[in-house]
Amino acid sequence: GETSDFELLKHQLSDPDIKDAQIINWLHEFRASVAYLTKDLEQLVNILLKLPWLRRSRDVVEEYLGFLGNLVSAQTVHLRPCLRMIVSQFIPPRITIREDDVDISDSDDDEENLSENFNTCHRALQTVARYVPSTPQFLMPILVENFPFINKSERTLECYVHNLLRITVYLPTLRLEILELIVERLLKLDVSTPQQDIEDAEETANNSDSEEKSTEEGLFDMEEDEETKGNKVASSGSERMAHPLAERLDILMTILFSYIKDVCHVDGKLDINKTKDLYRDLVSVFDKLILPTHASCHVQYFMFYICSFKLGLSEAFLDHLWKKLHDPNNPSVIRQTAGSYIGSFLARAKFIPVVTVKACLDLLVNWLHKYIDNQDTGTNAYCDVALHGPFYSTCQAVFYTLIFRHKQLLEGNLRKGLSYLQSLNFERIVMCQLNPLKICIPSVVNLFAAITRKYQLVFCYTIIERNNRQFIPVVRSGTGGDFVQTCTNPLDSFFPFDPYMLKRPFFQFWEELSAEDLENLKKPIKRGTSEDEDDDFLKGETPQNDGMVGIAPNSYESNTRSPVSPTGSPLDCYVQY
């Protein structure tokens, strides 16, 4: 019952001014008496776990790591508190600034030894995992609950995600769960920042920048040395996103791309086995989180990026989506989304050759024809999104692919290309009772109609006009009075690989059809064109397959392992796609 010495001990250990030598002495004693640190002395153990060991001398760090190892091996009851203590160090320490009697608290970005502290934390985690094999299953819930809120500073989120990805290196059993956790949080950021909001923020920022420049011009015409000018350029807002959540998403996506690149490449060369393993994990994350999420704009690009490493991966991804699409046991909405992904991927991915595009078109179009065959005899052969969602989604994928790829499909040998397109029998698809032109997005339908008219594959305009006459505008009453609404996207479809809005990783896409191309579409093709004669339309700029598609985060090993610069990874290398 005599507790005065015990209270004195707790008081000494809680003293913020405790000396290194004292810490080492106490830890040495505790290591020898670790058998007595049972559940009853939980309060004392918590005080020991709060010791400021990370920012002390090397001797203190080594002694503390030894103490942690002894503690968890002798008293596994303290495993969770130890893991919580280590994980809490994965973000920069908090500092409190007092402004107008208000405490403002956030992460301390200027900590010089941040990367070294993170290294020590990972050593501590490895020590614990070595003594307690069941560490991963206890660690994962702690990683989830400690994930910073998406409104925390960019630096805090950046450091935490860096450290999560580092854990996957020495605890590979956690990789899938950690990737799921990161992608889930990235999705929350992504769906909170619609593309329109990002565009508006960028436009506003650009306008205010140009206004400032015009005001400043002539006022401050002093000489500046070159270095200052250089710094000004580097720190200008051009590398940052104007939208704060988009900026966070940009930094975290760069870290994820950087991680994917470094896992798949060993000494600069692609390691097939490691790439396949990571691909399987990422496809699993894609199925669980991305596919059921409607209209995410950026996060799905991790699949686009890993598929760019090798054609086999792109084909495997397309095959995976195709299985989702034509399996009637899948929910209709998942099948429709899989169709959107196939169309967008075939149209936008510059690294997919025409041969693969043709193979996919054959697969999709044959399925459409079989679907029409089955419906012709049934009672549901009429236009209804609820009944035929996957069919319409597949039609839109085929139309969208043709819009972007028709130049390549017809390139070289025009007659051969035309006979291939005629063999797809678009006329039957367009004219069928299910009327896909009524359901697909009008912009896609109009471009498809222009291309098919130019090459005399099918004439869509009579159907489009008939559909337009059947569209009944809906009058809705709102607070601002009555307004007329026409549903132009009954499928509620989206194109997941539409241009990437974030600034750091840079993807090059197929060019949009230019005004000149659209004009060319209005001119009919001359029948009797010789086999070797190219039509004027084909002589336009056709994107080549050998372009550089840059996505350029620093190496995960160098920059991601020690996140010191607060501005994310600079664009300093190019990856050949």
Q: What is the pLDDT of residues 170-187, one digit of tens each?
A: 999 999 999 999 999 999
| pLDDT of 200 above 80 | yes
How confident is residue 301, by pLDDT bands cut at 50, 70 and 90?
very high
How confident is residue 93, by pLDDT bands cut at 50, 70 and 90?
confident
Number of domains in the chain: 1
Domain for residue 125, yes or no?
A: yes
Between helix 461-470 and helix 442-454 the angle, nearest 10°, is: 160
Domain for residue 23, yes or no?
A: yes
Domain for residue 283, yes or no?
A: no
Domain for residue 286, yes or no?
A: no
Domain for residue 396, yes or no?
A: no
**Range with the lowest mean pLDDT among 64-68, 301-305, 393-397, 553-557?**
553-557
Q: Who has greater pLDDT, 10 or 179?
A: 179
For the stretch 460-514, pLDDT in tens is: 999 889 888 887 666 666 565 655 556 677 777 788 888 777 877 545 544 455 5
Three-state DSSP class for residue 482: strand
Domain for residue 1, yes or no?
A: yes
Domain for residue 14, yes or no?
A: yes
CA dihedral for 355, 356, 361, 362, sign (positive or negative): positive
Residue with tokens 């776990």: 49
Calpha distance 337→574 (Å, rounded): 31
| pLDDT of 10 above 80 | yes
* Sequence-ordered list of residues with C-beta below 8 angstroms from that of 110, at least 6 positions apart, any chain: none
Q: Which two tokens stand for residue 442?
A: 């009008």
**Range with the lowest mean pLDDT among 11-25, 102-116, 276-290, 370-384?**
102-116
> What's the mean per-residue pLDDT of the chain?
80
Determine the structural domain holding residue 49 and report its residue range.
Answer: 1-94+111-146
Domain for residue 225, yes or no?
A: no
For the stretch 372-395, pLDDT in tens is: 988 876 777 788 788 888 999 999
CA dihedral for 398, 401, 406, 408, sign (positive or negative): negative
| pLDDT of 236 above 50 | no
| pTM, to two decimals | 0.81
